[in-house]
Amino acid sequence: MEDDWVRPYPPGTGRWLVIAWEAGALALLAYATIEQFGLIGHGVRAAAGFLAAIWAVGAWRILRHGVYLSAEGVRVQGLLRSRTMGWREVAGVRLHRATHRLGPWWIESGMTVLLERHDGVTVNTELWAQGVDFHARPKLFRAVYQEIRHRHESAAH
């Protein structure tokens, strides 16, 4: 596949809040580790450097997380792995009202976008109407859904 991948939406400000939250959490972990084990000198630098490297990789993955489109297909870039599918593999694109069971109760968590493959497998795009990218921008969520459907329909013809 070509390398011309485009994310059809800008990342939401919530991503920066998550990255800042993680920086604070890792700083607290570094402080607790240094105090707990009585680290000094090289130990402090090693612990701080290790946690800073973890934060940098995590922040990069959070910023790159999302759905990317090209003329050839769709790429779902998650935090831990990515999945690329050609448009020919995708049978359909649909909205799904996600619910989760908590004991006897069903809790509705909002709309998500799913890709249905020709082999019957459903792939979660991780696009969530209540997520960090779309929570305050519901029209953008619908526009991204329509863009994915349009790209899929254009590739099918």
Verify that 93 and 141 share a domain, yes or no: yes
Whether 73 and 141 share a structural domain: yes
pLDDT of residue 1: 46
Q: How many domains does the chain have?
A: 2
Q: Is 89 exposed, middle or buried (0-12, 13-18, 19+ CB in 10 A)?
A: middle
* 3 in any annotated domain: no
Q: What whole-number distance in Å separates Cα of residue 48 and Cα of residue 124?
A: 36
Same domain, 92 and 140: yes
**Are 146 and 100 in the same domain?**
yes
What is the rounded CA–CA span in Å between residue 39 and residue 34? Answer: 5
Domain range holding 149? Answer: 66-156
| pLDDT value for 2 | 52
Neighbour-count burial of 40, counting CB atoms closer than 10 A to its CB (0-12 exposed, 13-18 middle, 19+ buried):
exposed
Q: Are residues 33 and 79 in the same domain?
A: no
pTM score of the predicted model: 0.86
Task: Read off the pLDDT of residues 39-56 as tens digits, 9 standing for 90 and up.
Answer: 999 999 999 999 999 999
Q: What is the pLDDT of residue 156?
A: 76
Q: At what angle are helices 13-37 and 42-64 packed, to 10 degrees?
A: 160
Contact between residue 127 and residue 112 where contact means Cβ atoms under 8 Å apart = yes
Q: Give pLDDT, residue 42.
A: 96
Residue that is written with structure tokens 């000198």 in the block: 41
C-beta neighbour count of 57 within 10 angstroms:
10
Mean pLDDT by 10 residues, the chain (157 residues): 83 94 96 94 95 96 96 95 95 94 92 96 94 93 97 88
Q: Do residues 57 and 41 share a domain? A: yes
54 and 72 co-located in one domain: no
Residue 125 contacts residue 114 (beta carbons within 8 Å): yes
**Same-domain status, 54 and 100:** no
* Helical residues (DSSP H) of 38-117, grouped into ranges: 42-64
* Same domain flag for 86 and 150: yes
* 56 and 103 share one domain: no
Answer yes or no: do 152 and 112 share one domain.
Answer: yes
